[in-house]
Amino acid sequence: MTRENLTQSIEDYLKVIYELTLAEERATTNEIAERMGVAPASVTGMLKRLSANEPPLLKYEKHRGVALTAAGRQVALEIIRHHRLLELYLHERLGYSWDEVHEEADRLEHVISEALEERIAQELGNPLQDPHGDPIPTRELSLPVHHWAQLSDLCAGQKAIVQQVANENPDLLRYLSSIGLVLQARLEVLEVSEFDGNLHLLIGDRRLVLGPAVTHQIFVEVL
Amino acid sequence: MTRENLTQSIEDYLKVIYELTLAEERATTNEIAERMGVAPASVTGMLKRLSANEPPLLKYEKHRGVALTAAGRQVALEIIRHHRLLELYLHERLGYSWDEVHEEADRLEHVISEALEERIAQELGNPLQDPHGDPIPTRELSLPVHHWAQLSDLCAGQKAIVQQVANENPDLLRYLSSIGLVLQARLEVLEVSEFDGNLHLLIGDRRLVLGPAVTHQIFVEVL
DNA sequence: AATAGAATTTAGTTAAGACTAATTTTAATG
DNA sequence: CATTAAAATTAGTCTTAACTAAATTCTATT
């Protein structure tokens, strides 16, 4: 719809800004630059262009960061829908593991037509989660909201089922698979280390310890 | 392999030049410009760059057109393999008709990894023909050579089976489907018009007439 | 309130890859 | 073999999206 004339680069900026503004109200130039692997000065230039676009895709005020406009959010969600549908398709139909899907989907997301998006969605039965448990925006671009707990918030004795791993790092994902921490895995918190926030977990019959850098990014359904 | 650093645009030039040099020894600037939908001056610039590349992708002499080097042909065949595998995949697994596959594959061909190429090929059983009957280069980039006849060369009374339609025009392809002229269709030449080269054909129980502009691009196995 | 240091923006450059207009080369014809 | 039309090339411009270096603005702290 709103997505003609947009370059891959623009789509990437919007996607990154969308992700950054989930946590904070506005995204800063330096944050964006770091995520995109680009110099801050390049980001400033792009922010100006996108906020001067008709319709504006960003609300930008010098020195105070940016937020998406409705039009910008629309585009970002469209790309995220492409990305997550592709990830799931690669996983379900072409034998990709959850650590391999991200990189491939990152390139494909910009070039598939709406028609292909739709056929993939149909083929997969209009799924709601990608292989990492991330929610897939619907055709109307609404996002199902989950009320899952951060694994890092659990207390000793609680049991839970893994629902989402919000990190695309292939090495981490491979490691998690190797210890049995995959979607729908059942786990129990044995102990919470007071000072470093480490969690001692039982997964299957394996005991292991995970630090907060990791447990912050894992979401679970508490039983 | 040789395909790092190459932009989509470069890949498109090489593909077009490959196709043009199937018919003639060398491709001319204007031919390339027309196929690419680009001004001739733009082509000259690109030809210079690609022939100055290390390794050179083109043999280019001012005013006498270009041919691919071995390296250039390698790249072109790699892209064509992507394109045709994607066309077949879209057709077989995602419900695309033969007139819809080309446009989508034209964008996807530049971004799929070698890993995805390989999985698609495996999933399809290392196929040798795309939905139009065009040969798919093998993993080693060799092309199966067929000894099919041009439909335009047949004489009255001959019977044949359609093997290839070397034209991507969606309107033509839809028309051909509508008259039953699809891959593996059986047909008989009833009559050849002497002056205009029109062919009167029997396909199924339908009689129809096709001009040489079309019958030149259809290849058949004579029975 | 002054100021150091961090964050951001400005200014100016670069490379691709397109364009147009003008020029040059080649090929065909009388 | 001179002329001309077609084909190709050159020259110069534009846009996108990056870069570096320099300048500016903000923020936190004394």
The answer, yes or no, to whether residue B36 has pLDDT greater than 90, is yes
CB contact under 8 Å between B108 and A113, yes or no, is no
The answer, yes or no, to whether residue B1 has pLDDT greater than 70, is no
Q: What is the Cα–Cα distance from A78 to B37, expressed in whole angstroms?
A: 29
Residue A21 burial (CB count, 10 A) = 19
Considering only CB atoms, A95 lies closest to which of B94, B104, B119, namely B119
Residue type, B79: I
Residues with Cβ within 8 Å of residue B200, at least 6 apart in sequence: B189, B190, B191, B192, B193, B207, B208, B209
Region B5-24: mean pLDDT is 95
The answer, yes or no, to whether residue B80 has pLDDT greater than 70, is yes
Closest C-alpha among B161, B149, B160, B155 to residue B192: B155
Q: CB of residue B47 closer than 7 A to nucleic acid strand D?
A: yes
Distance A47 CA to D17 C1' (A): 12
For residue B105, the distance in angstroms to the closest alpha carbon of chain A comes to: 9
What pLDDT, in 10s, does the model give residues B109-152? 999 999 999 999 999 999 999 999 999 999 999 998 888 999 99
The answer, yes or no, to whether residue A191 has pLDDT greater than 90, is yes
Strand D bases, protein C-beta under 7 A = 7-12, 16-22, 25-27
Model confidence at B194, pLDDT cuts 50, 70, 90, reads confident
Q: What is the Cα–Cα distance from B37 to B22, expressed in whole angstroms?
A: 20
pLDDT computed for residue B146 by the predictor: 86
Closest C-alpha among B5, B71, B61 to residue B29: B61
CB contact under 8 Å between A108 and B112, yes or no, is yes
The answer, yes or no, to whether residue A146 has pLDDT greater than 90, is no
The answer, yes or no, to whether residue A221 has pLDDT greater than 70, is yes
Residue whose CA is minimally distant from D27 C1': A63
pLDDT computed for residue A145 by the predictor: 86
Residues 104-133 of B with CB under 8 A from A: 104, 107-108, 110-113, 115-116, 119-120, 123
The answer, yes or no, to whether residue A1 has pLDDT greater than 70, is no
Q: CB of residue B30 closer than 7 A to nucleic acid strand D?
A: yes
Q: What is the Cα–Cα distance from A80 to A59, expressed in whole angstroms?
A: 20
B221 neighbors B163 (Cβ within 8 angstroms): yes
CB contact under 8 Å between A94 and B115, yes or no, is no
Q: What is the Cα–Cα distance from B72 to B67, expressed in whole angstroms?
A: 9
* β partners of residue A222: A160
Compute, in degrees rounded to 10, the torsion defined by CA atoms A107, A113, A116, A121.
80
From residue B188, alpha-carbon distances to A92, A208, B142, B199, B214 in Å are 45, 73, 33, 10, 16
Residues with Cβ within 8 Å of residue B47, at least 6 apart in sequence: B29, B32, B58, B60, B66
Choice between B1 and B113, residue whose per-residue pLDDT is larger: B113
B182 neighbors B163 (Cβ within 8 angstroms): no
* Percent of chain B surpassing pLDDT 70: 99
